[in-house]
Amino acid sequence: MNRPPLLYLSADDVRRALPMAAAIEAMRSAFKELGGGTVIMPPRLRLDAKEEQGVVLVMPSLSGGLSRLALKVLTLYDNNPKAGLPFIQALVILSDASTGTPLAILDGGALTALRTGAVGGVAADVLALPDAAVAAIFGAGLQARAQLEALAAVRELREARVYDPNKDAEAAFVREMSSRLGLVVRAAPDAASALRGADLVATATTSSRPVFADGDVGEGVHINAVGVYQPDKAEIPPHTVRWARVVVDQREAAFEEAGDLLQPMADGLFGPEHISTELGEILLGRAAGRISDAEITLFKSVGLAVQDLYAAAAAYDSAVRAGIGVVLPR
């Protein structure tokens, strides 16, 4: 049997091969399979490079439904932006699960941004109000852009506000996203102004403390909290979490890493039973999405390897059909 070509997909190749709408559909499938129990996904391995203020994550997964397996190696180095380097850098290796043959090497930074944005789109689609039209985005980086793009794909947005302490990054976000989406995007002077009248919120920061005040969150708001995954960091005020209906990507991962949930639990604000359901259970019809127009809903994601697997498989299949990417010698 001849081995298939080994394909390399750069960041630009990944974005060409996997537009946001396709990424959202890939995430729907990923979470349905995860909910169905046919995904093999060990806990991710974490290595701390303390002197360099960096973290290395290794994330494997295997899908019985796709007959594909993936391995992502991801680095997050706090000082990189000051040196003109990306905070997040990663590679994903996609292989045939039946033979173990590598099929593709993909830029993991672009793939991570796409799949995380896309799962935010899936969560908003099942949890946000049907007529939600104003988005507040906290953070102005790559993931903040992906979150807004995904929200615009599942709701007809009228306006978006962005808040980031880095005003240069905030201004660049406004210019790029207003042009890319054909949407009114404004820079908010403060967090409260960003939230005023918003019914969709996405937090995509590296903050170790909440990025807005609990009292500024209105009724019926849906929040995607996707920026931090460490137990010692939290973007969402604890009492907002307490009053919200909380949906997670996976309970096991959330109880291991999600500081937004673990910190209020440690303070006695609520127990594990406060986590209402997983996203896959909603998509499979085993649990309800939004229950009332007035409730606040919160989707907390720490990021799962199955997301990388499904996004990589969708990008690879599309790239093969379209002739995108570079064939590497074996």
Residue positions annotated with a catalytic role? 72
CB contact burial 233-266 (16+ within 10 A = b; e otherwise): bbbbbbebbebbbbbbbbeebbbebbbbbbbbbe
| DSSP secondary structure, 184-210, as one string | -EEE-SSHHHHHTT-SEEEE----SS-
> What three-state secondary structure class fits 45?
strand
Beta bridge partners of 326: 8
CA distance 179 to 142: 16
CA distance 301 to 59: 15
Q: From residue 46, give the alpha-carbon distance in Å to each of 57, 59, 66, 167.
A: 5, 9, 26, 32
Q: From residue 199, give the alpha-carbon distance in Å to each of 115, 124, 299.
A: 22, 10, 14
**In terms of C-beta density within 10 A (0-12 exposed, 13-18 middle, 19 or more buried), how is residue 294 classed?**
exposed
Contact (Cβ atoms closer than 8 angstroms) between residue 64 and residue 38: yes
Q: Which helix (H) or strand (E) element contains residue 134?
A: strand 134-138
Q: Which helix (H) or strand (E) element contains residue 216?
A: none
281 Rama sector, left if φ>0, alpha if ψ -120 to 50, beta otherwise: alpha
- Smallest Cα–Cα separation from 17: which of 250, 227, 220, 321? 321
Question: What does the block give as tokens for 63?
Answer: 């899908």
Residue labelled with tokens 């989406």: 181
